[in-house]
Amino acid sequence: MAQPAGPAAACRAQGAGRQPYSNGPVQNQMMHSSDAQGYNPAVPGSYSHQKVPPHQPSGQYNYSGSPNVSQFNSYQGPGQTLNRPPVAPLSGSPVQQTGPVPQVPPPALQNSAAISSAGSFPPGAGPPMLSNWQYSQSALSHPAGTPTSHLAHGMGTGSAQPSPSLSGNTNPPGSYQYAASPGGPSLQNSYMKPGSVPPPVTQPLTPLHPPRPPLGPPPVGGPPLIRPSTLTAGPPNAQPLLNSAANQEGDATSAASDGSAVQNSYDAIEGGGLMATPHPSPAPPNLKMNRNVGYSYPALPPGYQNTSPPGAPGMQASALQYPDGSKHFHQPPLGTNHLTASMGSLSLQQEGLRPVNLLQERNILPTTILQAPVPNLHEDIQKLNCNPELFRCTLTNIPQTQALLNKAKLPLGLLLHPFKDLSQLPVVTSSTIVRCRSCRTYINPFVSFLDQRRWKCNLCYRVNDVPEEFMYNPVTRVYGEPHKRPEVQNATIEFMAPSEYMLRPPQPPVYLFVFDVSHNAIETGYLNTVCKTLLDNLDLLPGNTRTKIGFITFDSTIHFYSLQEGLSQPQMLIVSDIEDVFIPMPENLLVNLNENKELIQDLLRTLPQMFTKSLETQSALGPALQAAFKLMSPTGGRISVFQTQLPSVGMGALKSREEPNQRATAKEIHLTPSTDFYKKLALDCSGQQVAVDLFLLSGQYSDLASLGCISRYSAGSVYYYQSYHHKHNPVQVEKLQKELKRYLTRKIGFEAVMRIRCTKGLSIHTFHGNFFVRSTDLLSLPNVNPDAGYAVQMSVEESLTDMQVVSFQSALLYTSSKGERRIRVHTMCLPVVTTLSDVYAGADVQAITGLLANMAVDRSVSATLSDARDALVNAVIDSLSAYRSSVLSIQQPGLMAPSSLRLFPLYVLALLKQKAFQTGTNARLDERIFTMCQVKNQPLVYLMLMTHPSLYRVDNLTDEGALNINDRTIPQPPILQLSVEKLSRDGAYLMDAGSVMFLWIGKSCGQSFISQVLGVPNYGSIPQNMTHLPELETAESIRTIAFISWLREQRPFFPILYIIKDDSPLKSSFLQNMIEDRTESALSYYEFLLHIQQQVNK
Amino acid sequence: MESVVFIFALIDCCALIFLAVYFIITLSDLECDYINARSCCSKLNKWVIPEVIGHAVVTVLMLISLHWFIFLLNLPIATWNIYRFIMVPSGNMGVFDPTEIHNRGQLKSHMKEAMIKLGFHLLCFFMYLYSMILALIND
């Protein structure tokens, strides 16, 4: 009967299954983007069947509580396993193919079984049930020799994230700790899922590289498919499986999910097809779905639920659809311009190539935030691709040869934000982490499976064996589906690393604070703020019971604080020999935070008053850092240094190099460090896994160029508060408070290394960011924090002929603050193209700008600032003239640019006007260098905001087109061009420049706005230094505040809002960001375009 | 007298050849990831000054002993050595800086430079050898 049709039907089934599944990867995307917003635990059931369209913008997701629709339905899933025993690879036949007849009894069976089990395991009763976990049973259900895995899913990583949005999670983390459950004697793998399991079933894995043997060619495993004997083999195994499945259900937040019957059928379709492995159990996806319900993206494509009839009919229906599915499967989609399926993105890319005459198009700036271009890949692959916020390439179409890349005159590089806070991150615990044997690439969604037991690395093309453990999929609890493992379904994944990945046992988190207490420092009053913030956040420091903390203060001598247990108050030890620093006592300088909390709090309370009478003006920063390094070197950790002036004594003393009169001339400014002391010390620190974060709060020149090295090479971060003073500059105080809070509480990874691998033929030649490149591609990061971004430049070493796609993988190995060794892996896949026009079509203008900015910083340090500026301008000229001469067939007058690069001149002009690269007298040297540090260390999103701020008109906000998040209405005003011409006196404008916001109030701004939003009677009474909007009960106020706080929520730091009037001193900073206008030393946008046109047409 | 000059030059040249080979080996170790950038650079930086001095001595010796051709041949490389040494930015840890060596293809250019020097010194070696034998015969 069904036998001859078996394999084919199976693959068709798979194909057919794909359609509805298109939601899966979308969820994947959401997984990343839903960070911090759009969590709505308060609206349970709000994504009932019809509601959520599969493509909602991330912000709108309501992660609702479990809808709990019908438990019994959901149990049909497990029930079906009756028919399909998990002896998958050996035997097994998808029941639905044998005709509808055998299907009838199973549902009944399962239902009854499910009822009983459901009765005993009520939903939500997770923890108590742990003991009921029948791991042995689940082991039974697998053929001997199958490694059993178990699935733990909880807040594994979530708990490490401070993100409050996670609180929406209705499940106490405890309820998921299956990993710790005593039940599983046979456990080898456990799969942990924080929050949710991105449905692995959703993406039928298709062969990535058509030329190579396709991924899971249905015929390969075909024969076993059609063994009728399985039917008889099935039942004995089924009961245990059912049980365990039911158990699992119980553990999930909600015991049931809506429309589960539908899932079953759909699952059956899916399972029957791929890899020609009979899908032994349709239950798992169902389970998984249920699990998702709690707090994750909506697991089910609701549209799908409605379209498919439930239960057995669904199977039949899908069985009917088999025929059209098969083509899909056989014709593995991929690469560029292949299939009709990629037509969508193709046309999108064509749009990127549309020539735009920049001189004629006045309004090229989009009114919404510019999105990253979508690589021209088949949608199934694209759905699996890494989120552009984490991993971005300057050219989404990779040129095949270096010659082509040179012709395009665009930089090729990657921009990474690898440690970004993610609200959904799959975590895998497994005894073996599957990696390529020759290049050590982690298995990822873009590898191809030659057959069941072998996979081909997508970076070096070596064929590897699939380890036995990997054959078992802990998510679906199915054997023989390596391609459905979470590792192969998620481009971003975290592994719990076994002990091979440790050089030494994970060290406790150690935090050392080094405070400048010279007279100058005490004058600024920073110590009060810092100690108070630290006191408030002491319990929030990421760590565990082993967390250690210590303090050092210094002026011309170094003061240590013994926090020995039993002391009534902290004991200060002064070391005045700064030439040869030593540690005065071997222990008790770094003490356990929890055990000595009172003493530490005591110290923090008294510290600000201790030095108020100090007259010492010298600063021995160098020796203090040496002391700190010595103290930290056995364990590694984080040193936070607060410095307020130029270090003047001891090692590392510096001399003032700034000459204010020469600021105007671009040459002879000191961007290079004056000594290698800090660099050497930083490298020593890096070697001992110590990172140094520098907080510079200074009024005068402090030679950040030299001091910054200490953070730059030890992978720390630099904060700069110009002219910090507790009385004279209250705004900076607030900024310090907010940023320090974030700094103290954000996630941290210790002893980290990062490796970026790319497909053979590409090579990375330059790295940008704060780290030390220890060997060719190994970045040493003593600390890694979620606010750091990195960039690399690449070249095409060998021509990428015969390659349809290339892949990039970044792997970050770190010790979490909880003492776990983890590996976070991101993989991105991009198509290779052969023509120049395709290269231009796929250019990502923001990424290019970001990379150019990084390169320009290097250039200004190694050569001169004016060289860097010229290089930036030349980058625009070269690329546009290459486009003009090589791509444009008809020579038109004007300045032509491909649509993908239409913002390129604008962004480069913005870079030229940015503090880091501007000429003119208004940038102080330290400020300029700080901006350069930021360019190097910030993720692209914030770098772009910093470079080209967004301008909104806010006095006439309406609810039209507004976003709705958590019952809040967030107006979405259009982004305006940065030109004074767009400002009008009777309006109020908000400029969002990333780390700072300006609210400019026009002179004749509407009275209603002034009184109802600002809460003052008239324009004249707006206070000079206003930084807060009062929360008023008016619609305008609510809208404005909603909008501003929405903007703020999107970033980890806290942008200060300055409210400025015409006569405010800050007006110049506001106007300076008006990039399209002319300033005393820089061209206007139009003039700049004319200049470029002149050069291009030469 | 002349033979003494060339015997000395020959010995010096041998040392420079060894040094060049050592540079190449160390750099390729770094390339292959056998050592890390820090130790590689501190190893190499130690030998930068001896190299500069060694080469400058031969060059000056040739000038003093009025071997114009050999002097002019050596001059560009000696000048380059000194120039490179002087032009190290104040913040760098020497000619070979561990934080920069992996950036902008510096490793490759250092390698190329070491190769060129090796070739040059080999050429010089045979030239000195020939001149030495000639001088010995003349004596």
- Model confidence over A842-863: pLDDT tens digits? 899 999 999 999 999 999 888 8
- In angstroms, the Cα distances linking A463 to A439, A459, A470, A756 are 11, 11, 15, 21
For residue A890, the model assigns a pLDDT of: 75
> Looking at chain B, which residue has its C-alpha nearest residue A708?
B91
Which residues of chain B lie closer than 8 angstroms to A774, CB-CB? 36-38
Which residues of chain A lie closer than 8 angstroms to B93, CB-CB? 676, 679-680
Radius of gyration of chain B (CA): 16
Return d(Cα B44, Cα B23) in angstroms, integer. Answer: 7
For residue A175, the model assigns a pLDDT of: 35
A1019-1053 pLDDT per residue, tens? 888 887 788 888 888 888 888 888 888 888 888 77
Q: What is the mean pLDDT of residues A268-286?
A: 33
Residue A241 φ/ψ, nearest 5 degrees: -60, -40
User: Smallest CA–CA separation between A472 and chain B, in Å?
Assistant: 36
What's the token pair of residue B99?
Answer: 């934080």
A301-325 pLDDT per residue, tens? 333 333 333 333 333 333 333 333 3
Taking all residues of chain A, what is their mean pLDDT, rounded to a whole number?
A: 71
Least confident span in A660-664, A1070-1074, B87-91: A660-664
Q: Which of B38, B90, B104 sits opposite A674 (nearest CB)?
A: B90
Kind and range of the H or E element at A1040? Answer: helix A1035-1049
For residue A690, the model assigns a pLDDT of: 93
Q: Which of A706, A765, A778 sits opposite B91 (nearest CB)?
A: A706
Sign of the CA dihedral running A370, A372, A376, A381:
negative
Return d(Cα A634, Cα A653) in angstroms, integer. Answer: 26
Kind and range of the H or E element at A880? Answer: helix A865-886
> Looking at chain B, which residue has its C-alpha nearest residue A772?
B99
Residue A825 in this model has a pLDDT that exceeds 90: yes
Contact between A873 and A912 (Cβ < 8 Å): yes
For residue A629, the model assigns a pLDDT of: 93
Q: Which domain holds residue B112?
A: 1-138
A–B interface: beta-carbon pairs under 8 A = 59
Residue B13 in this model has a pLDDT that exceeds 90: yes
Q: What is the mean pLDDT of residues A432-450?
A: 89
Which residues of chain B lie closer than 8 angstroms to A778, CB-CB? 33
CB contact under 8 A, A776 and B103: no
Whether residue A672 lies within 8 A of chain B, CB to CB, comes out as yes
Provide the b/e sequence for A14-37 (b: ≥16 CB within 10 Å).
bbbbbbbbbbbbbbbbbbbbbbbb
Helix (H, G, I), strand (E, B) or coil at A355: strand
- pLDDT classification of A34: cutoffs 50, 70, 90: very low
User: Smallest CA–CA separation between B90 and chain A, in Å?
Assistant: 5
Q: Which of A672, A772, A773 sits opposite B89 (nearest CB)?
A: A672
CB contact under 8 A, B90 and A675: yes
A228-243 pLDDT per residue, tens? 333 333 333 333 333 3
CB contact under 8 A, A680 and B98: no
> Looking at chain B, which residue has its C-alpha nearest residue A684?
B38
- pLDDT classification of A414: cutoffs 50, 70, 90: very high
CB contact under 8 A, A675 and B31: no
CB contact under 8 A, B38 and A774: yes
What percentage of chain A reaches a pLDDT higher than 70? 67
For residue A505, the model assigns a pLDDT of: 87
For residue A350, the model assigns a pLDDT of: 64
For residue A961, the model assigns a pLDDT of: 73
> Looking at chain A, which residue has its C-alpha nearest residue B30?
A775
User: Smallest CA–CA separation between B35 and chain A, in Å?
Assistant: 8
For residue B59, the model assigns a pLDDT of: 92
Helical residues (DSSP H) of A723-826, grouped into ranges: 730-745
Residue A29 in this model has a pLDDT that exceeds 70: no
Which residue shows structure tokens 């549902």?
A107
For residue A324, the model assigns a pLDDT of: 37
Whether residue A350 lies within 8 A of chain B, CB to CB, comes out as no
User: Smallest CA–CA separation between A655 and chain B, in Å?
Assistant: 13
Q: Out of A118-132, A745-759, A1035-1049, give the one with best mean pLDDT.
A: A745-759
Residue A978 in this model has a pLDDT that exceeds 70: yes
For residue A196, the model assigns a pLDDT of: 41
What percentage of chain A reaches a pLDDT higher than 90? 21
For residue A253, the model assigns a pLDDT of: 33
Pick from A765, A929, A932 the residue to mutate for testing the B interface (most B CBs within 10 Å): A765
Sign of the CA dihedral running A315, A316, A321, A322:
positive
Which residues of chain A lie closer than 8 angstroms to B91, CB-CB? 672-676, 679, 705-706, 709
Q: What is the mean pLDDT of residues A156-161?
A: 37
Which residues of chain A lie closer than 8 angstroms to B27, CB-CB? none
Whether residue A766 lies within 8 A of chain B, CB to CB, comes out as yes
Q: Which of A672, A775, A778 sits opposite B91 (nearest CB)?
A: A672
For residue A1035, the model assigns a pLDDT of: 82
Residue A1091 φ/ψ, nearest 5 degrees: -60, -45
Per the model's pLDDT, the better-predicted residue between B17 and A670 turns out to be B17
Interface ipTM: 0.90
Least confident span in A129-143, A375-389, A921-935: A129-143
Least confident span in A42-46, A519-523, A710-714: A42-46
For residue A145, the model assigns a pLDDT of: 38
Which residues of chain B lie closer than 8 angstroms to A775, CB-CB? 30, 33, 36-37, 102
Residue A470 CB-density burial (10 A; 0-12 exposed, 13-18 middle, 19+ buried): buried
Angle at A494 between CA A491 and CA A495, to 5 degrees: 125
The helix, strand and coil proportions of chain A, stated in percent and rounded to the nearest 5, come to 40, 20, 45
Q: What is the mean pLDDT of residues A1008-1012?
A: 84
Least confident span in A625-639, A919-933, B113-127: A919-933
Per the model's pLDDT, the better-predicted residue between A46 and A191 turns out to be A191
A58-69 pLDDT per residue, tens? 333 333 333 333
Pick from B26, B27, B39, B99 the residue to mutate for testing the A interface (most A CBs within 10 Å): B99
Q: What is the mean pLDDT of residues A16-21?
A: 36
For residue A70, the model assigns a pLDDT of: 35
- In angstroms, the Cα distances linking A78 to A48, A99, A264, A312 are 23, 20, 9, 14
CB contact under 8 A, A676 and B91: yes
User: Smallest CA–CA separation between B79 and chain A, in Å?
Assistant: 21
B78-128 pLDDT per residue, tens? 999 999 999 888 888 888 988 888 888 888 999 999 999 999 999 999 999
Q: Out of A146-150, A244-248, A867-871, give the one with best mean pLDDT.
A: A867-871
Which residues of chain A lie closer than 8 angstroms to B92, CB-CB? 676, 679
For residue A665, the model assigns a pLDDT of: 52
User: Smallest CA–CA separation between B105 and chain A, in Å?
Assistant: 6
Q: What is the mean pLDDT of residues A1086-1092?
A: 90
For residue A922, the model assigns a pLDDT of: 66
User: Smallest CA–CA separation between A654 and chain B, in Å?
Assistant: 12
The helix, strand and coil proportions of chain B, stated in percent and rounded to the nearest 5, come to 80, 0, 20
CB contact under 8 A, B31 and A776: yes
Which residues of chain A lie closer than 8 angstroms to B31, CB-CB? 776
CB contact under 8 A, A679 and B99: yes
Whether residue A767 lies within 8 A of chain B, CB to CB, comes out as yes
CB contact under 8 A, A858 and B104: yes
Within 8 A by CB and 6+ apart from A500, the residues are none
Q: Which of B99, B101, B104 sits opposite A713 (nearest CB)?
A: B99
> Looking at chain B, which residue has its C-alpha nearest residue A714?
B99
For residue A72, the model assigns a pLDDT of: 35
Which residues of chain A lie closer than 8 angstroms to B111, CB-CB? none
Return d(Cα A575, Cα A582) in angstroms, integer. Answer: 8
Which residues of chain A lie closer than 8 angstroms to B101, CB-CB? 773
Which residues of B sit within 8 Å Cβ distance of A? 30-31, 33, 36-38, 89-93, 98-99, 101-105
Domain count, chain B: 1
Residue A251 in this model has a pLDDT that exceeds 70: no
Radius of gyration of chain A (CA): 30
Whether residue A674 lies within 8 A of chain B, CB to CB, comes out as yes
Q: Which of B91, B101, B104 sits opposite A674 (nearest CB)?
A: B91
Half-sphere exposure at residue A167, Cβ-oriented, CA atoms within 13 angstroms: 4
For residue A179, the model assigns a pLDDT of: 35
CB contact under 8 A, A773 and B102: yes
For residue A56, the model assigns a pLDDT of: 38
User: Smallest CA–CA separation between B111 and chain A, in Å?
Assistant: 14
A95-118 pLDDT per residue, tens? 334 333 333 333 333 433 333 333
For residue A493, the model assigns a pLDDT of: 92
- pLDDT classification of A534: cutoffs 50, 70, 90: very high
Whether residue A437 lies within 8 A of chain B, CB to CB, comes out as no
For residue B49, the model assigns a pLDDT of: 93
CB contact under 8 A, B103 and A766: yes
> Looking at chain B, which residue has its C-alpha nearest residue A679?
B91
- Work out whether strand A558-562 and strand A548-554 pair parallel, antiparallel, or are unpaired: antiparallel
